[in-house]
Amino acid sequence: MSALPAFNANLAIRPAQLRDLGGLVALENASFSTDKLSRRSFRHWLTTEHRALLVAEIEQRVAGYILIIYHPGTRLARIYSLAVSPQQRGSGIAKALMTAGEQAAQDDGRLYLRLEVSVDNFPAIRLYETLGFQKFGVYRDYYQDHKDALRYQKRIRLYRDKPRHRSVHWLRQTTPFTCGPASLMMAMHALNKNYLPSREEEIELWREATTIFMTSGHGGCHPLGLALAAKRRQFSVEVWINQAGTLFIDSVRSEDKKQVVELVDNCFKRDAELQDIAVHYANITQGELISAFESGAIPLILISTFAMDRKKAPHWVVMSGFDDDCLYMHDPDPEEGRQNELDCQFIPIAREDFERMCCFGKSRLRTAVIIRGDR
């Protein structure tokens, strides 16, 4: 990105470079007393991908910066940090950085730009609202000084339809292998507030739904296992699976383990039939997911994490909304050191990206569990 003309002839907005490291750290220390980025953090963001780090420069000195993080596999960008030198505040630098940052996010194909701001930072709130950001939530006790944060977002590409969201309380999975139970607990709690998630329940659900083996380490959760667990808790369920064979068996190398995976798969299918759980052996379409969501159900969807972390792992997420361009997801597994829980709620997945993301493995497994209210 070339230097951009801004609010006066002496100000230029440009991509940050390693030579700006000292200036960025000095600016950060002059701007914030808590929640400060360290020198190590700045060096990381200067040398990594999936971000825009822009500086405002006046007479070859760093007068401000904006850091925007792009979440791989999604159309979401988040303003991670924004700072302006105390001596330069009120001169339009923050607005110039916001404008340039929004353009950078647009150029990267992002649809939404989000941010958090302290409830008492009135100048920043006025700026964000002037630039078209809309408040969509509050996060309690967000900052190190225990102040609350207001959550804002802006649709930075053509707004063709108002998102339709469902109130789903987000939960973090507490182990590397319990994305399915965490997703199921989110759905069940959203449908029945008397249902109370817990760590004990998370592990119990995994024990009920696990395939026992998958790739290496602990097994993930089978869609029929999750459906059976939900039905035992008095929820109505139906399942979509686009293949009739043994699920996940291709990811297991040992022949002995494959026999166990096949045994578990057969047991889940037998129990689902005995419990009269509707199983559709077909591809579930986006239209069918949206129709279920509009009728009051909450879908759990299996995705491949390849677009997010290049690991090709199966991963359960919760559908939490939709609009003309995107399906929105709650992801129970924030990336360590890169995401917080706010980044994992109402994640916008563009329709065309979703089609690629919701197929797993060589067999192109596509499956969803539709959870409805109490029977």
pLDDT, tens digit (0-9, with 9 covering 90-100), for 229-241:
999 999 999 999 9
Torsion of CA 270, 272, 273, 275, to 10 degrees: 120
With a cut of 60, say whether residue 1 has pLDDT above it.
Answer: no
Instruction: Note whether 70 and 208 are same-domain residues.
Output: no
CATH code for the domain in which residue 148 is found: 3.40.630.30
Instruction: Note whether 147 and 266 are same-domain residues.
Output: no
Residue finishing a domain among 97, 124, 159? 159
Instruction: Note whether 64 and 173 are same-domain residues.
Output: no
Instruction: Note whether 138 and 154 are same-domain residues.
Output: yes
CB neighbour class for 103 (10 Å; exposed up to 12, middle 13-18, buried from 19) = middle
Average of per-residue pLDDT across 10-32? 93
- The Cα 341–Cα 331 span in angstroms is 9
The whole domain housing 291 covers: 165-374
CATH code for the domain in which residue 210 is found: 3.90.70.10
- The Cα 303–Cα 254 span in angstroms is 24
Instruction: Note whether 115 and 219 are same-domain residues.
Output: no
Percentage with pLDDT > 90 across the chain: 63
Phi, psi (deg, nearest 5) at residue 113 = -120, 125
Instruction: Note whether 244 and 303 are same-domain residues.
Output: yes
Instruction: Note whether 263 and 177 are same-domain residues.
Output: yes
Instruction: Note whether 149 and 179 are same-domain residues.
Output: no
Total domains in the fold of the chain: 2
215 vs 207: which has the higher pLDDT: 207
Residue finishing a domain among 124, 159, 194? 159
- The pLDDT tens digits of the residues spanning 239-295 come to 999 999 999 988 888 888 889 999 999 999 999 999 999 999 999 999 999 999 999
- The Cα 34–Cα 40 span in angstroms is 16
Instruction: Note whether 213 and 238 are same-domain residues.
Output: yes
Average of per-residue pLDDT across 87-108? 92
- The Cα 180–Cα 176 span in angstroms is 11
Instruction: Note whether 179 and 49 are same-domain residues.
Output: no
pLDDT at 4: 44
Residues 327-330: contacts with CB under 8 Å, at least 24 apart: 327/286, 327/289, 327/290, 327/351, 327/354, 328/163, 328/165, 329/301, 330/168, 330/170, 330/183, 330/186
Residue finishing a domain among 159, 183, 211? 159
- Paired sense of beta strands 51-58 and 326-330, if any: unpaired
Whose tokens are 């990105």? That residue is: 1
With a cut of 60, say whether residue 196 has pLDDT above it.
Answer: yes
